[in-house]
Structure 1
Amino acid sequence: MAASGYGKQSAPGQAPRSQDDFAHLPVREAYIAAYIDRLPDGAAVDIKTLAKQMPAYGQQAVATALNKLSAVGHLRRFRETLGEGRTQWVSRTHFSRTPRDDAWWERFLSGDTATDATPAPVAMPASPRPLHSPAYSALIALGRACPQLALSAAECADLEDLAAQWLERGVTPADFVRILTTGLPKVIHSPGAFTRKRLIAKVPPEPLHSVRPEAPPSRRVMECTGCGLPGRPEALSGGLCRACHGEPPTADRTVPVGEDVHALVSRLRLLARTRQPMAPR
């Protein structure tokens, strides 16, 4: 097992195990994938540890196999904090026996842990529909609280939209009744017309829209399966950087084309902070 907080993590929403889970892979990759799949969460899955457990394959072979498993979507490596308010960064290998594409792993990185599996619909007993809307019921309550404002069914239906505006603006049914029945004249000749006038005249203001708090900074970043370099998901196709993909370097790597230099510096600072001696992954 890896040190606490490190090691293998099973991805959500995987299909049940079957003998054909890794039939699409070459023999070496299929063997290593099946071995990792059966390890418990928290197990060390770094290159050295896997090579020790599988004498048939050396460290170089294991490293190459892990890169290929990453490229076809079976695993990604993330660097993340141990929890809310924690500053220690750990490296975890998230493994899925069901291969995922880059878009799925990017959603998972952002915190979307919804599974791909669609649960079978469960028949639920039909619950009785309410006879009236909350606004309609609030209008009925006026007559119960004050007989002078007893409304007919037609009047309640006619005033329902106006009453709904009150409830949508945060007024509770109890406050609705209290406000509309306070300070009434001794004689009300037309409860419907009187209530309409009062609903319009005393409608409360719309609530202020609260400012949405800024999203907290991400506590998880993807890193290249091959070399461990952190980067944006779109820059790590198949979980691998350009170099680990075997692509030739660009003519000028000091100022990447189309990339914000400030963003690059931020990532390098993150790398410097998180590049510290870590337990096996």
Structure 2
Amino acid sequence: MLWHAISPSRAYVKAPHDVVRHSKLSSDAKILIVYVQGLPESRTGEALSDHAKKLGIKGRAYQKAKGQLKDAGYVHEWRRQVGGGLWVTDQLFSNAPLTDEEARRLRDAKAQVEPGDRYPVDGRATTRSVGGYQPTVEEREKNSPHPPSEEPAAETAEPVAAPGPEVVEAERVLLSLRHANPQLHLGVREARGLSEMAADWLRRGVQAAELRKVLVTGLPADGVRSAFGFVRHRLVRKLPEPLEPAPPVSPVRPPVPCAGDGPEHVFRPRADETLCRPCAQQAAEEAHYIKWPLYAPDPDGEFQEPVRWRERFKEVLGEDAAHVARGTLSGARRPCAVRGGAGGRLRRRRARAAAGRRRTD
């Protein structure tokens, strides 16, 4: 689309983007917010339905717009009984969403104001507060009919300690809830007020993604009336158990003398061992060579090559053939180095054959 806009220099009302782009408010509800926000102080005593009639919003359209404003926190109502048994409905309208507790405090504060102070008749200028927030910074336009409000002089105060990393991370998670679900739209002040409670989750080992999932999952079927109250309720009711303390670290053992051979030396044991690692490895090798002497190294430091059984078998067959040729093979032959296996069976057969020949002779 093509876009062309000229900012008005007078007779205008500032509408925040949170209202204009609100996905849960219809056009009638947004027009009511802008219209009521620009009313003079003398017309604030009229009911919201009277202002809606002047805009052509009546009947079902008005009830729908009013319900959306109540759900979003822009309109709050209380019924009370006055003298004569009559019931009166008090309405509080705000251009910024308020929780039920904030709206109740604002109503009580306005109820304590005397009529002469609330409706001045002597022409003295007053400041109208909408939503409980006083303007501190305004846009300095060139043709603005009213001078911008100046911030009060900062009083000398003690420096405030910077929030910890868990608090900063928790506030970032709370402000990101609006992207997961528009019903959980929190302002900066609301998120900052809940950041300490959410930081307790992070200190107990909960990741930021897990905290966000807990807060946006399983919302009420009829919607969330107050994002601030709903998030605070979940942070308190679903708070996980604290982390168990880490096991104590075993103390460092003092060095002890090694019981192995060689020069005297010390080492730091891990348990109750009496040999250092090199001496323990050498002792294990010596025990292995005692059990398997065939693989023990020779005095020159080299391992002896084990005799292959095939080569030994051929050697035994050669010795038997030499005895047969000389006629000296008998049953009482010298023991062979090869025991069992195919060689043993062959020698037994030959011994039985030689014994049979001697009996025949």
Q: Which of the pair has more CA radius of gyration?
A: 2
TM-score (normalizing by structure 2): 0.25
TM-score (normalizing by structure 1): 0.32
Higher relative contact order (CA 8 A, sep 6+): 1
